[in-house]
Each structure stands twice: as C-alpha cells, then as structure tokens.
Chains A and B, each alone.
Chain A
C-alpha cells in the first residue's frame, strides 16, 4: 500500500509529539519552586491532611516517571484528576464544555475557509480595482486582534442594532447559532485576512502558467478553468496556511469565549488559571495541544494527497 508508506511515519511522529507534549505539560508542575501538591491543590495554604490526600491522589511520593505514567494511563481511562475549585472530576467539567468550543472552532473555520479563499479568488480573478480594494481591506483586517473585533461586533450588533446577543450560550439550534455567530466572526477576522492573502498570491502564480493558457486556448469555459486548473493547483500552499490558522483558532477560543462569556474550554482555561485550578489547566492545555497537533498532521496528509509531488519531498 503506497498510501501507508507516507501516512505511517507521519502518524508515528504524531504519537511521539503528543507523548513529549504531555510530558512537558505534566512536568511543568515541577518547574515551579515549591511543593507541587500546593499547586495542584489550588495554590492556597492547605492543611497537612489535605496535602496528604493530594499527594496520595497524584502519587507525588513516587518517582517522576512513575507519576507521569500514572497520570498518562489515567488520561486514557478518562481520569483527568480532580478540580480544586469545582470539587468535581475534571473530565465531567470538560465534557460539559467541549461542545461549545468545537462548534465555535468549526463555525469560525468554515468562515475562514469560505470567505478567505473566496475573497482571495475574487481579488485574483477580477480587475485591478477589486484587487486593490480587497488587498487594502485584507491588510487592515489582518491587524485586528480577535478581542478588538469582539468589542466592535458587540457594540455594533448587540448594543446599537440589537440583532444578536452580546454573550451567553443560548439553547436549541437557532439559539446556539445566534450566540456563536459573533464570537465566530471575531475569531475568524484576522485569520480570514491571512488566508485571503495567501489564496490570492497562490492563484496569481497559477494563472500565468502554461497549462492555464492551454486550457483557455482549448476553449474550456472560464468556470472550469478557474476550478480545475487554477484553484486546484493553488491548493497546496492554501491548505498549509489553513492548518496554521486552525492552531490560532484553537488558542483563540480562550479570547473570544472570555469576551462573549461563552462556557467553553477556552473560558474554562482562563478561569482556571485565574483561580489556580491547576488540574484543569493541565487537562485543557493538553487537549488543545493535541487538537492542534492532530489537525496539523491531517493537513499535512491532505497536502500529500492533493499534491503528489510533495510526497517525494517528504522523503518517504
């Protein structure tokens, strides 16, 4: 199976990266001066009995690797530790929050891909006026951080126009969507601009190549030339950028969820850092890093499928 030849090494690499990342996230507790039990217990002065319970639960009296192994095997059986702040298993808290974040990232990702590639394509294909206007807009939007976008959107659409809610979670399909729309736009804005810029230049490069000229001289309809000859060949650099964008989207949920008061993993992370609930911080950071690394691997594999030439470069 030739497919396996270039997928298996990537998957092995993925597993190794995840292992090392988990080691870093777990080991970070020990990089801080002081007793890790205090940190895991919420950073407050605890009674010796309470500290002993925490030592017992996390096996802090064993060697470092034994502890790590204990924690890692715990992860696979769904045991992420105990939250100091909520007095609940971390897994239960995460379970109640994960859907919001996934929906937010998917909606924002959809906006980034559709509007980003769309704007890039229009800039590349239409005349100079349109190109200049889009390039100008894209340059500005690329400099808008999501929390500033959030503020502007809240003011325009919630406070002034009163079209959409300024925060909260919402219920049902329409309710959830209406509560997620502004956060998703805020999250997507600057990434959309990046994708639009890359799409435009990638398509520009393809447009002047011989195979496109040949296709046009054969009399193929414009739509077909654009789709099959220009866009398809411009995809590899675009998909690379989209993968990088996903990374930003995942980390960016911390910002927009806090700005809009959504109850997802991002705002959970921010609150847990503020209340020094370290078991939750570890679990959420690890989940986000894992999502990021997996998304990157998928994007790499996708690039290899789209572009057979890259397979040679991968040395596999």
Chain B
C-alpha cells in the first residue's frame, strides 16, 4: 500500500458495481437529517415556538400536547424550543473542536512526514504522550484547572483530538511523498513548502476531511457527556447533554419525555455523522486506489 505503484504492474481498476457505491439510501437519510439539524440551529430564533428560557411553573413536566409539541421540563420550559436552540451549541461545539484539531494537526503531520528524523521523532513522542490520556480524562483535567464551561471543554477536546489528526496526516503524506509525480516535482526543483502545500495536501485532504466528519460525531458525543456531567454548557442555556441531565430526576419519577427525547436527538445526530463520515471515507479511499 505504501510502495509506489509502477505503471504496468498495477491491477486494472475494478469496475464499480452499483451495489458498491458508498452512497446508499442510508447515506442520504443521514445527510438529510444533518441538513435538518443545521436548519434547526440556523433558524432557532424564528422556528422555536416558545422562548427556551421562559419558565411556566403552572405547566411543568407536561407530556407532548398541542401547546407543547414535545412537552415541558421541570421549570415548564418548552422542550422543542430548547432542542432547537440546543442545536446551536450542539453543532458549533464539535465544529470548533474539529477545526482546532485540523489547524494544529495537519501542519504537524505534514512536518513530521516531510522532515523525518528528529522532528518526526519529537512529534511522534508528543502524540504518544497525549494518547496516553483517555480523551475524556484530559478534558476533565482541563475543567479542574480552568473551570467548567463551553470554552474549556471545546479547547480541551480540540487538543485531545490533535494526535489522531497528526497520525493520519503523517501516514497519508508519507505514502504520498514517495509517489512518482512528487519525485517529478522534486526533480523540477520545487521546494518542500510548495510540494507539501500545493501538491501533497490537496491529494490527501479528502481522506482527512472524511475522518473529520467522523471526529465531529465523536466530539458531539464527548461534549454532550461533559455537559451531562455539568462541566460544559452551563444552565440555564439550552444544550442537549444538559437537557438529558436535567430530565433525569423527572425520569425517575415517571416523566421520561425530556431526557428520552434529547437523548434520542443526540443518538440520531451522532449516528448521522458516523454514517456520512464512514461513507465519505469509503468513497475517497476507493478513489485513491484507482
């Protein structure tokens, strides 16, 4: 896989049968759901039927009804409105985490692959060290040091995700740099910055971005976990993980609506990003072979 394929020795590209296509109906359903969540986040201001923070102590823990489509929570706040507003932190958090990990990880991975030697060793050892900490523990340690909050958890998770981006970029770039066309550029006298920035990076970016979509799902889960534990988004803001936590007391008393619905939304969103990410990775991975 990581040897340069000589022309003539390469297997003829396999015709792709329709059933091989990674874009199954599951992919389109998942993508549709993601679009829906993005729309919810973008239009929460107008589409939410109620103010997400408006207390109504006369109508607490209501089951779904005409007035409140998904019921109300312990303070009588409208669950649907809180879910719609929660989509904002629900999507923006993972987006920031993935952005941090890409901005820090991709250049370091390219550097390790390009320079080799002591630079490569140093980057790899750093990566190993961060990977010795389970992601969740690293974030909890950060919260212990810098205090709970959305910003702390997002930055901590972003840092925790950097090593896997470095590893992926490094291995992809190491394979790519030994291929014929890169040798050709090198013999034309192109500098490393130009070769890595303009030729290697665009060719491996597809795979990196596909993995970023999968990481988005992981980050969404981890951020939801951290708010569930009370370390992320703070009350009274609307956040899905926090809503599961806030509904737990009511659930024990037999009104499961808020916890169950927000938990279900988290699962569906993570599932959608997993499916889309894996299918995309499949698609770019296969094209890479042809």
Contact = CB atoms under 8 A, between A and B. Distances in A.
A258 interface: yes
A213 B148 CA distance: 58
A50 to B, nearest CB: 20
Interface string A265-296: 00001101110101001000100110011000
A6 B230 CA distance: 44
A4 interface: no
A273 B231 contact: yes
B245 to A, nearest CB: 8
A143 B264 CA distance: 10
Most buried by A among B137, B144, B245: B144
Contacts, number: 123
- Residue among B129, B133, B259 facing the most chain A CB atoms (10 A cut-off): B133
Interface in A147-200: 147-148, 151-152, 154-155, 158-159, 166
Contacts of A151: 244, 247-248, 251, 256, 259-260, 263
B134 A152 contact: no
Interface in B127-161: 128-129, 132-137, 140-141, 143-146, 148
Interface stretch (A16-24, A103-111, A204-212, A216-224): A16-24
Given A269-B140, A285-B141, A288-B137, A143 B132 contact: no
Interface string A4-22: 0000000000000100110
Interface string B240-272: 010011011001101010011001101110110
A270 B244 contact: no
B95 interface: no
Contacts of A152: 260, 263
A45 to B, nearest CB: 16
Secondary structure call for the B interface: helix
A239 B145 CA distance: 35
A121 interface: no
B232 to A, nearest CB: 12
A287 B132 CA distance: 12
A144 interface: yes
Interface stretch (B6-14, B35-43, B107-115, B220-228): B220-228
A313 B185 CA distance: 32
A139 interface: yes
Contact of A273 (B134, B140, B264, B274): B140
Given A21-B129, A254-B229, A293-B132, A273 B251 contact: no
A159 B252 contact: yes
A247 B228 contact: no
Given A140-B271, A151-B244, A155-B251, A31 B134 contact: no
A91 to B, nearest CB: 19
Nearest to A24: B129
Contacts of B263: 147-148, 151-152
A292 B132 contact: yes
A143 B270 contact: yes
B76 interface: no
Contacts of A252: 136
B166 interface: no
Contacts of A144: 267
A37 B15 CA distance: 67
B146 A32 contact: yes
A190 to B, nearest CB: 8
B219 to A, nearest CB: 12
A248 B133 CA distance: 10
Nearest to A278: B144
Contacts of A21: 129, 132-133
Contact of B254 (A25, A159, A273): A159
A139 B252 CA distance: 29
A247 B130 CA distance: 13
Nearest to A167: B252
15 contacts: A24-B129, A25-B141, A28-B145, A139-B271, A147-B224, A151-B263, A154-B251, A154-B252, A251-B136, A254-B229, A258-B228, A269-B140, A281-B140, A292-B134, A293-B132
Interface of A: 17, 20-21, 24-25, 28-29, 31-32, 39, 139-140, 142-148, 151-152, 154-155, 158-159, 166, 247-248, 250-252, 254-255, 258-259, 269-270, 272-274, 276, 278, 281, 285, 288-289, 292-293
Interface of B: 128-129, 132-137, 140-141, 143-146, 148, 217, 221, 224-225, 228-231, 241, 244-245, 247-248, 251-252, 254, 256, 259-260, 263-264, 266-268, 270-271, 274-275
